[in-house]
Amino acid sequence: MLEQQLVNALSLGSVYALFALGFTLIFGVLGVINLSHGAVFMLGAYAALQAVVKLHLPLWAALIAALLFSGVVGMLIDVLVLRPLRKRNAPHLIPMIATIGIGIFFNNAVQGIFSADNQRFPSDLLPDQQVYFAGVQVSVLEIAIIVLSFALMGALFFIMNRTQIGRALRAIAESPKAAALLGINVEGLFLLTSFTAAALGGVAGVLIALYSNAVFPLMGQPILHKGIAVIILGGMGDIRGALVGAMFLGFAEVLSVAYIGSTMRDAVGFGLLFLVLLLRPQGLFGKVLERKA
Amino acid sequence: MLKLSNVSKKFGGLSVLQDVSFEVPAGKVFGLIGPNGAGKTTVFNLVTGLVAPTGGGIHFEGQSLPGMKPHQITRLGLGRTFQNIRIFKEMTLLDNVIVGMHSHLNYGVPAFMLSLPGFRKREQQARDKAHELLSWMGLTHKAEDIADNLSYGEQRKLELARALATEPKMLLLDEPVAGMNASEKTELMAEMQQIKKRGYTIFMIEHDMRFVMGLCEEIAVLNFGRIIAQGTPDEIKNNPDVIEAYLGREDDEPVTGVIT
Amino acid sequence: MTESFDNFWAIYSNLVLTIGINGLLALSIYLTLSCGLLAMANAAFMGIGAYTASLLTMNAGAPFSVALLGGMAAPTLVALVIGAPTLRLSGVYLAMATLGFGEVVRVAILNAESWTGGALGLNGIPQSTQWWHVVASLVIVLLVLWRLRRSRVGRAFEAIKEDGVAASLMGIGVLSHKMLAFTLGAAIAGLAGALNAHLTFFIGPSEFGFDRGVDILTMAILGGTGGLTGPVLGAAIITLLPELLRSLKDFRTMVNGIILVVIVLFLPRGLWDPLRFKQWWARRKAVTAASGEKR
C-alpha cells in the first residue's frame, strides 16, 4: 500500500515539478512572477483534448500539439505584454499584475467558449493497463507521466548546465544588462524562455488532465497556487529547488490524503509555504540577494 | 567621534576589509580615499548599519553601532549620501528634504488627525527649514519641482540638503562631487566649507584629489581592504605606499598629475 | 420628487451600498500600495472580518456596533501576527506570501465547519447595515487616510515606497511603518467585510478568495493609486460594470482581466492621475500661449 502511495506521489510530484520549472524559468530569467502560468497549463490540456476529439490525432501527437500551442501562447504573452513593460522599466510588481489579468482573461474566455463543465478524454484513448514493477501495481499512465516528466526535466537541466544557450540564460538571470553587453541576444532568449516555460506548463496540463481525467477551465488555479508554494519552498529562481520542492509537495499531499484526510490536502502546501517563509524566506536553495539590473 | 577598531568584513569567502582602524575627529573634515574596489563604500555601509561587520568594533560618540538598525543609527546623528544618488525621484525637492526631518517631527496621532496647532506649527517650521536648506544649496527656486527633473549635479546637492535635514552631527558623504563639472565642484567646495563652519563633522569618500586635498584636514587611505596610510594631506601626498597604490595598479588612471 | 427617489432607492440601494463597501476595500489596498507593499491578503482579512462580525451577531447576540468593532479587531490581530515575519520580505516574496496566506484562510474557513458552516457558509445574518453606516465608515476612513497622507507618516510611506534603504537612513523605521499600513489596511478590509455580511445576509468561503483579491486590486489599479479619489472611483466603476454590461454577464470576470492588462500597459497610474492632469493642463497652457504669441 505504501509503495502504491509512493508511486502516486512520484507521478504527482513530477507533474508539479514540470509546472514549477516553467514558472521558475520565467522568474529566474525574465524576473517576472507569471501568474498566467496556470492558465497556460489549462490551455495545454484543452489543446490536447481538442486535438484528440476534433482532429482525431493520436495521444502522442496531441501532446506535441499542446506543447506547441502553449509555447506559442507563452511567446505571445511575452511579446504583447511583457516586452512593452520591460521597455518601460516598470517596477517588477507591474508585470505580475498584468499576468494576473492575462490569466483571468484566458480562464474566463475558455469558460465562455467551452462552458465550465468538466470534460474528459475519450476513455479508449487512455492507457489503462496495469503493470507489476518491483512488486507494486502501477498503471502504464503513471509510468508514462513519470518518464516523460523526467525526460523533459533532464533535457532542461542538460541545456541549462551544458550548453552555450544555458550559459547565456544563466548570465541573463544574473544580470540582463551585463549579458547584453556581452553580446547575448537577450530579447531573443527571453522569447525562447517564454516558449519553453509555457510549453512545459502545457505538457504538465495534459499530463494532469490524463491523470485525473478531468479538463475544466479553472483547473490551472489550484496548480498555480501550489506552484507558488513550491517555488517559494524550493527557492525562487532555482531549478533544483523547484524540483525538490515539487517532489516534496507531491509526497506531502499524497501522504496527507492517505493518512489524514482529503479536505486538508490543499492546505498542506500552504502550511508548508508559511513555515518556510517564517523560518527561511529564501527557500531551500534560493539566494537572499536581489537581482541586479 | 567615530571610531573603527580592527573592523573586518567578509562576503562569503571574499574578504573585503581587513583590520581597518581609524578615528574621525569631531568638527573636522576627514577623507577616505583609495583605488576603486578598495572597500570604501563598504565602510560606510558598515557604519550606517546596512551591513554587519564580520569582526571588530565601530563606535560613535562612545556608543557601539553594530547591531543597531539603520534608522536608529541615523537618529544618533549620522547622515549619509550615496555614491549613486538615492533621492526620492517622484517627490518634490521640498518633500525630499522634509522627509529628512522625519525623526524630529514629534507630533502624535491626535495632533495630525485633528490638525492641531502643534502639528501645523511643526509642519510649517519644517517647510521653512527645508526652504532654508535648499537655498543654501542654491536650489530654492526649484523647491516645488519633481526631483527627477533635476540635473545630475543638482540631484547631488539635493541629497546633501536632505542629509543635512536629519540634523546630523556627522555627515557621511559618498563621492559628493562624482559626475560634476568643474564649476559645480568649486561651488560645492565652498558650500562644504560653510557646512564645516557650522559645526558639522564631515567624513567623505572621494576620488577627486584636488577636492580632497583642498577640503580635508585628515585623510586615511584604503587599499585592498586595508588602511595603508593616515595623516594630513601633505603627509599623504608624499607617502610612498600611497603613490604606489595609485600608480602600481595597471587598470587605474595615472593619478600623479592630479596630486598637486 | 421624493417618490422617484424612493423608487430609485428601492431598486438600487444594494448597489450603492456595495459601491461604498468596495470603496473601503479599494482604499484598504491603496493604503498598503502607498507604502510599496503589494499585499494580496485583504480579501482574506475581509473574510475574517465578515465571519467574526456575523458570528458575533448571530451566535453571541451582540449589538451591531460591537460586531463591527470585532470585525475590525480580528483581522488587525491576525495582521499583527503574520505581519512581523512576512513584511521583512521584499516585493514579490511578500505578494506570494500574502497570496498563500489568503489560501490558508480560505481553507481554514472551509474546514472549521462547526463555526463557519464550511462550504455552505453562514446564512441568515441580520441585515443591520444601513446606508449611513456605509457612508459614515467611508467618510471616516477617507478622513483618516487624508490626514495620514499629510503627516510625516504619509511622507514616510512615500519614501519607503520609492527606496526603503534611503528611507531608513532618514530615521524612518521602515518595518514599523509597513506594519502600520498593513494592519490598518486589514482593519479597513475587516470593516468592509462586516458591513457587507450584514447587507447580503449570506457569506461563503468562496467570496473571500483569489477572485475577490483580484477584484480589489483591479479597483485600485483602475482608479489610480496616486491619491484617495482613484480607489473610490475604481470601486464605483468595477461595481457598476456588471450592471452596465448586463449582456456580457458571463464575461464579467474576463473584462476585469482585460482591464488589468490594458491599464497596466497604457495607463499605469490609473484613471484618476493628478500628475497626468497637471501635465495635460501645462501642455494646454503652453499651446495656447504659443498660439497667442504667434498672433
DSSP letters along B69-123, please?
-HHHHHHHHEEE--TT----TTSBHHHHHHHHTGGG----HHHHHTT-HHHHHHH
Q: Is the pLDDT at A68 greater than 80, yes or no?
A: yes
Range of the domain at B17: 2-247
Q: Touching check for C44 and chain B: CB below 8 Å?
A: no
**Cell numbers found for residue A158:** 542538460
Chain C residue closest in CA terms to B103: C171
Would you state the pLDDT for residue C195? 92
Would you state the pLDDT for residue C194? 93
Q: Is the pLDDT at A91 greater than 90, yes or no?
A: no
Task: Tell me the CB-side half-sphere exposure of residue B224, using CA atoms within 13 A.
Answer: 8
Give how far B103 is from chain C: nearest CA, Å. 6
Which of these, C272, C267, C17, C275, lies nearest to C128 by C-alpha position? C17
Q: Is the pLDDT at B255 greater than 60, yes or no?
A: no
Confidence category of residue A268, pLDDT binned at 50, 70, 90: confident
CATH number at residue B68: 3.40.50.300
Which of these, A220, A192, A169, A170, lies nearest to A75 by C-alpha position? A192
Confidence category of residue C26, pLDDT binned at 50, 70, 90: very high
Greater model confidence, C154 or B207: C154
Q: Residue A135: is it exposed, middle or buried by C-beta count within 10 angstroms (0-12/13-18/19+)?
A: exposed
Q: Is the pLDDT at A67 greater than 50, yes or no?
A: yes
Q: How far is CA A200 from the centre of its chain?
A: 6
Longest dimension (CA), chain B: 65
Confidence category of residue A289, pLDDT binned at 50, 70, 90: very low
What count of CB pairs under 8 Å joins A to C? 122
Q: Is the pLDDT at B249 greater than 60, yes or no?
A: no
Chain B residue closest in CA terms to C153: B102
Q: Do C254 and A109 touch (CB under 8 A)?
A: yes
Percentage, residues of chain B above pLDDT 70 = 95
User: Please, are residues B9 and B42 in contact by the beta-carbon 8 Å criterion?
Assistant: yes
Q: Is the pLDDT at C63 greater than 60, yes or no?
A: yes
A237 neighbourhood in chain C, CB within 8 Å? none
Q: Is the pLDDT at A2 greater than 70, yes or no?
A: yes
**Cell numbers found for residue B154:** 543638482
As for how many domains chain A has, the answer is 1
Would you state the pLDDT for residue A262? 67
User: A184 to each of A24, A28, A163, how far by Cα in Å?
Assistant: 21, 16, 14
Q: Is the pLDDT at B248 greater than 70, yes or no?
A: no
Which chains border C (3 or more CB–CB pairs < 8 Å)? A, B
| pLDDT per position as a tens digit, B18-31 | 888 989 988 889 99
What count of CB pairs under 8 Å joins B to C? 78
Q: Do C171 and B166 touch (CB under 8 A)?
A: yes
Residues of chain B in Cβ contact (below 8 Å) with chain C? 48, 50, 69-71, 74-75, 79-80, 82, 86-91, 95, 98-103, 105, 107, 112-115, 119, 162, 166
Q: Is the pLDDT at A127 greater than 70, yes or no?
A: no
* A109-117 contacts, C-beta under 8 A, 24 or more apart: A109/C254, A110/A42, A110/A43, A110/A46, A110/A217, A111/A217, A111/A218, A111/C250, A112/C250, A112/C251, A112/C254, A114/A46, A114/A217, A116/A216, A116/A217, A116/A218, A117/A216
What average pLDDT does range A50-64 have in this prediction?
A: 87
| pLDDT per position as a tens digit, B205-231 | 988 888 888 888 999 988 888 888 888
**Cell numbers found for residue C288:** 495656447
Q: Identify which of A33, A97, A271 has the shortest CB distance to residue C260.
A: A97
Would you state the pLDDT for residue C1? 63
The overall pTM is greater than 0.95: no
Greater model confidence, C77 or B39: C77
- Tally of residues, chain C: 295
Distance (Å, rounded) from C-alpha B136 to C-alpha B93?
13
DSSP category for residue B255 = -
Would you state the pLDDT for residue C248? 63
| pLDDT per position as a tens digit, A155-179 | 888 888 888 888 888 888 888 888 8
Chain A residue closest in CA terms to C84: A278
Residue C206: Cβ within 10 Å count: 15
CATH number at residue C190: 1.10.3470
Phi, psi of A131 (to 5 degrees): -130, 145
B74 neighbourhood in chain C, CB within 8 Å? 168-171
Range of the domain at A21: 2-219
Q: What is the mean pLDDT of chain A?
A: 83
User: Please, are residues A23 and A34 in contact by the beta-carbon 8 Å criterion?
Assistant: yes
Mutate to test the interface with C, among A24, A93, A224, A282 (most CBs of C within 10 A): A93
Q: Do C172 and B80 touch (CB under 8 A)?
A: no
Task: Decide: helix, strand or coil at residue C146.
Answer: helix
Assess if residue A254 is contained within a domain: no
* Residues near C295 by beta carbon (within 8 Å), at least 6 away in sequence: none
Would you state the pLDDT for residue C249? 63
Q: Which residue is listed with cell 491523470?
A: A211
3-class SS string, chain A: CHHHHHHHHHHHHHHHHHHHHHHHHHHHHHCCCCCCHHHHHHHHHHHHHHHHHCCCCCHHHHHHHHHHHHHHHHHHHHHHHHHHHHHCCCCCHHHHHHHHHHHHHHHHHHHHHHCCCCECCCHHHCCCCEEEECCEEEEHHHHHHHHHHHHHHHHHHHHHHHCHHHHHHHHHHHCHHHHHHCCCCHHHHHHHHHHHHHHHHHHHHHHHHHHHCCECHHHHHHHHHHHHHHHHHHCCCCHHHHHHHHHHHHHHHHHHHHHCCHHHHHHHHHHHHHHHHHHCCCCCCCCCCCCCC
Give how far B179 is from chain C: nearest CA, Å. 20
Assess if residue B35 is contained within a domain: yes
Confidence category of residue A293, pLDDT binned at 50, 70, 90: very low
Q: Which amino acid is it at C33?
A: L
Confidence category of residue B118, pLDDT binned at 50, 70, 90: confident
Q: Identify which of B86, B88, B105 has the shortest CB distance to residue C152.
A: B105
Give the lowest-confidence range in A24-28, A227-231, C16-20, C51-55. Answer: A227-231
Q: Do C261 and A84 touch (CB under 8 A)?
A: no
Give the lowest-confidence range in A221-230, B115-124, B239-248, C203-212. Answer: B239-248
Task: Decide: helix, strand or coil at residue B219.
Answer: strand
Greater model confidence, A191 or C99: A191
Q: What is the mean pLDDT of chain B?
A: 85
Q: Do C103 and A225 touch (CB under 8 A)?
A: yes
Give the lowest-confidence range in A166-180, C11-25, C36-50. Answer: A166-180
Task: Tell me the CB-side half-sphere exposure of residue A83, using CA atoms within 13 A.
Answer: 16
Confidence category of residue A290, pLDDT binned at 50, 70, 90: very low
As for how many domains chain B has, the answer is 1
Range of the domain at C286: 2-294
Q: Is the pLDDT at A60 greater than 70, yes or no?
A: yes
User: C227 to each of C142, C161, C240, C262, how far by Cα in Å?
Assistant: 11, 14, 21, 20
Chain C residue closest in CA terms to B84: C166
Mode of pairing for the β-strands spanning B218-223 and B226-231 = antiparallel
Q: Residue A261: is it exposed, middle or buried by C-beta count within 10 angstroms (0-12/13-18/19+)?
A: exposed
Q: Residue B50: is it exposed, middle or buried by C-beta count within 10 angstroms (0-12/13-18/19+)?
A: middle
Task: Tell me the CB-side half-sphere exposure of residue A53, using CA atoms within 13 A.
Answer: 12
Residues of chain C in Cβ contact (below 8 Å) with chain A? 38, 85-86, 88-93, 95-97, 99-101, 103-104, 107-108, 110-111, 210, 214, 217-218, 221, 250-251, 253-254, 256-261, 264-265, 268
**Cell numbers found for residue C284:** 494646454
Q: Which residue is listed with cell 599623504?
A: B236
Q: Is the pLDDT at C136 greater than 90, yes or no?
A: yes
**Cell numbers found for residue B159:** 541629497
Phi, psi of B106 (to 5 degrees): -85, 70
Chain C residue closest in CA terms to B104: C171
Q: Do B90 and C156 touch (CB under 8 A)?
A: no
Distance (Å, rounded) from C-alpha A276 to C-alpha A272?
6
Distance (Å, rounded) from C-alpha C160 to C-alpha A288?
20
Q: Which residue is listed with cell 423608487?
A: C7
* Residues near C84 by beta carbon (within 8 Å), at least 6 away in sequence: C179
Q: Identify which of C152, C156, C169 has the shortest CB distance to residue B80.
A: C169
A218 neighbourhood in chain C, CB within 8 Å? none
Residues of chain A in Cβ contact (below 8 Å) with chain C? 33, 81, 84-85, 88, 90-98, 100-109, 111-112, 221, 225, 228-229, 232, 236, 263-264, 266-267, 270-271, 273-274, 277-278, 281, 290
Assess if residue A242 is contained within a domain: no
Assess if residue B126 is contained within a domain: yes
Greater model confidence, A73 or B242: A73
Which of these, C226, C217, C230, lies nearest to C261 by C-alpha position? C217
DSSP category for residue B253 = P
Q: Identify which of B71, B87, B91 has the shortest CB distance to residue C171.
A: B71
Q: Touching check for C274 and chain B: CB below 8 Å?
A: no
Assess if residue B253 is contained within a domain: no
Most confident of A94-108, C178-192, C195-209: C178-192
Residue C4: Cβ within 10 Å count: 8
Confidence category of residue C88, pLDDT binned at 50, 70, 90: confident
Would you state the pLDDT for residue C24? 95
Distance (Å, rounded) from C-alpha C39 to C-alpha C100?
11
As for how many domains chain C has, the answer is 1
Q: Do A263 and C260 touch (CB under 8 A)?
A: no
Assess if residue A126 is contained within a domain: yes
Distance (Å, rounded) from C-alpha C19 to C-alpha B45?
48
Which of these, C206, C189, C197, lies nearest to C58 by C-alpha position? C197
Chain B residue closest in CA terms to C159: B88
Q: How far is CA B102 from the centre of its chain?
A: 19
Would you state the pLDDT for residue A292? 41
Confidence category of residue B260, pLDDT binned at 50, 70, 90: very low
Q: What is the mean pLDDT of chain C?
A: 86
Task: Decide: helix, strand or coil at residue B181.
Answer: coil
Assess if residue B217 is contained within a domain: yes
Which of these, C14, C18, C20, C30, lies nearest to C218 by C-alpha position? C30
